[in-house]
Structure 1
Amino acid sequence: MYRIRPTKEFDYGYNSITTIDEKEKNTMMDFGILKMKVNQVETDFEDKERAYLLIEGEAKLEWEENSCVIKRDSCFDDSPWVLHLPADVEVKITALKDDTEFAVTKTFNERKFDSRLYTPEECASEQRGKGTMKETSTRIVRTVFDYSNADYSNLVVGEVIDYPGKWSSYPPHHHPQPEIYYYRFYPENGYGFCQLGEDVVMVKHNDTVKVVDELSHPQTTAPGYAMYYLWVIRHVDGDPYITPTFEPEHLWVTKEDAKIWPDY
């Protein structure tokens, strides 16, 4: 299955969603949600590159000789904090608020690099699609790090905020590097759709979708509901993700004067 839907609310602790050793539709990444209650402590020391993205809540992070308290009230309104660690660096996380949640991505990477805590102010946030096709694909895209500012990483990490009834990851595009989408909705009973090549899957709150096999993957959300999704891409050895391949027959919609008839 490309879509993974939780059967219940996430438990406190680490909730594994995908693993690096899956035999089918392998993304080459471990991915899961770390849910914590106040004063809960989690430590991690692994031989993998890791990215801890705060979705919501407040926590104290401790790694190497560093310590920082981070807080995020809403993944819809606020840009993220992301702690990016190389292999064999220990991190200690202490929750300072109930239901603090992190999205955790891990992958193998033999390169040694400096740990870094990305602040919300350092996150590149842009409004894409604005001014074209009656704003039908206007959305907010946040890129925490990619090949341009972290070429030593095997990951790309970002977020998208979709306005109700609008499209994103548009025009349709594909790339050989595997990708993971993790979704949230406001209100939480909302839903949207993810196209995967010739197929379409419904996505709901806390769903995850794996994008592999170079499938095109545009998204849309239902009217009345805002859609958030975290996206993480795993570089392929010798072929890092830089730009996707857009389906040429749909690129015309990006032109400033694009319209389907004169008065529309």
Structure 2
Amino acid sequence: MYKKLDDLTGGYYELTARNDETNMLMDIGIHVLEAGESITLHDSVQEMAILPLVAHVKLSWETESAIVQRQDIFTESPYCLHVCKNVKVKLEAIDRSEILVQKTTNDVTFSNKLYTPEDCPNEDLGKGVWENTATRTIRTIFDYETAPYSNLVIGEVISHPGRWSSYPPHHHDQPEVYYYRFNKEQGFGCAMVGPDAYRVENNSFITLPGGLDHPQATAPGYSMYFCWMIRHLENNPWTERIYEEEHKWLLTNL
């Protein structure tokens, strides 16, 4: 499924719901707070990953708090607060803030963690291969390797102008959601999901069912950001990409 959100003028904007027809198994949405506004997030059955996009916000949970500021998702690495079920998190906007929240069911009680830019280094991939046509920057916030107690994976990609991402073509069993932004409002790219292709634009998202490959392309002149969010399946966590057989020859150039 592909959808473009309305302009983010305030309130909550839903991408997916845990029990909706997309079968993504996650509640994902964006809270928009004006300066001085505050909300409290709490879920009795779901863990939460709270990712400030463009924000200046105070986060408070249990006995801890932190002020997070991020103005440019293309040049600044993320902060992300990850909490288990039944933990209340208060968000207090110092300036206008846009905050993405990813949730899913998880019975495990684990230690809450605020990931900082130091925990999420930039990893440049695709340089020096395929004539540099798939150069991109990846920031993995947490995955099964670093947070095996979680049912979630979350990270970010900066896809460079005129380049490809999520490449070579691959799939996995677990459902995934991509949420897009561009460095200019009119920016665009292309998302392929199995045999289908979609024009992706600023503030759009796409749902990726398990089993379908999903390479992405970015239009020349524009940088494309996408937050990638995966839900582990029971007894089948996401740990690796399954490359499409006909394209495995590309791996010999890595």
TM-score range, shorter chain: over 0.9
Indicate the residue corresponding to 1:153 in structure 2: 150
Indicate the residue corresponding to 2:4 in structure 1: 5
Is residue 16–residue 22 contact of structure 2 (8 Å, CA) maintained in 1? no
Indicate the residue corresponding to 2:140 in structure 1: 143
Is residue 132–residue 255 contact of structure 1 (8 Å, CA) maintained in 2? no
Is residue 176–residue 210 contact of structure 2 (8 Å, CA) maintained in 1? no
- Could you tell which deviates more after superposition, 197-206 or 8-17? 8-17
**SS of residue matched to 2:50:** strand
2:231 is matched with which residue: 211, 231, 234?
234
Please tell me the residue identity of whatever aligns with 1:73: Q
User: For 1:1-264, what aligned pairs fall within 5 Å after superposition?
Assistant: 2-6=1-5, 8-22=6-20, 24-47=21-44, 48-98=46-96, 100-256=97-253
> Aligned partners of 1:74, 1:251: CA distance in 2, in Å?
35
- Could you tell which deviates more after superposition, 10-19 or 47-56? 10-19
TM-score normalized by the length of structure 1: 0.93
> Aligned partners of 2:9, 2:108: CA distance in 1, in Å?
33
> Aligned partners of 1:115, 1:50: CA distance in 2, in Å?
10
> Aligned partners of 1:102, 1:177: CA distance in 2, in Å?
24
Give the number of equivalent residue pairs: 253
Is residue 194–residue 219 contact of structure 1 (8 Å, CA) maintained in 2? yes
Structure 2 unpaired stretches of 5+: none
Aligned-residue Cα RMSD (Å) equals 1.1
**Offset at residue 33 of structure 1 (A):** 0.7
Please tell me the residue identity of whatever aligns with 1:43: T
Please tell me the residue identity of whatever aligns with 2:2: R
Please tell me the residue identity of whatever aligns with 2:198: V
TM-score normalized by the length of structure 2: 0.97
Ranges of 4+ aligned residues in structure 1 off by more than 2 Å: 251-257
**Offset at residue 46 of structure 1 (A):** 0.8
**SS of residue matched to 2:122:** strand
- The Cα offsets for residues 91-128 of structure 1, whole Å up to 9 and x where unpaired, read as 00101112x11111010000010111000111142111
> Aligned partners of 2:121, 2:176: CA distance in 1, in Å?
19
